[in-house]
Amino acid sequence: MISIDSLSKSFGSHQVLNNISICFQKGRVYGIVGENGAGKTTLFNCIAGIEDHQGRITADRAPLKNHLGFLQTEPYFFSKITGEEYLRLLCHARHKPAERAAQKNIFELPLKQYAATYSTGMKKKLALMAILMQENDYFILDEPFNGVDIQSNLLITAIIHKLRELGKTILISSHIFSTLHETCDEIHLLQNGVFSKAVARADFDLLEREMKQVSIGNKIEQMELK
């Protein structure tokens, strides 16, 4: 469980998150949606301990950051570290064995190759493998499906289902609504620094229609396409 109480975050005079309180339970998958700049990544950075903030973030395993696997939108890799070395590094950071990396290479990545030379999708898959091998209790997946091939998207979806089955707490952001529909138990809409709506699975289709109406509206007509 992750509990957030009165979380606020500003950058100068710009208020990004405004007094958010919410609880994310074990064995549940939560989708976090919102327009670009809504504060999704800032929220994730606060939970991960990367950003200072006001308010409290607690979990049933402390410190939270030592039990959290954070898949960032654009994972960072040192220029001279191979995929296999990266997996070892992240496992050793959590005192977990890094054995059988080749056996666990479910994405069939070139682990002897420098990770910095990987494509965007390959980097994301390597970073995901690493946080899975750490055996974390909490997972934040920031745009896990972007830049990844269709076959890997199916595998990532199956991984999320398995993590839920194992009782993990999982937060996902995605601009691909169908992936949230496939994976989430609840979807929370982040607007103007607050969660404006929480939607259960039964109402996902309604939320998608509402978001399409807001996003598209009459903008196609405005373009006067010919």
* Closest alpha carbon to 185 in 168, 202, 197: 202
Write out 34-55 in H/E/C secondary structure.
CCCCCCHHHHHHHHCCCCCCEE
Low-confidence ranges of the chain (pLDDT < 70): none
- Domain housing 78: 2-223
3-state secondary structure of 154: helix
Distance CA(37)–CA(89), nearest Å, equals: 32
Distances, alpha carbon 209 to alpha carbons 64, 184, 196, 212, 213, in Å: 36, 17, 16, 5, 6
Q: What is the CATH number of the domain that holds 156?
A: 3.40.50.300
Number of domains in the chain: 1
pLDDT of residue 178: 87
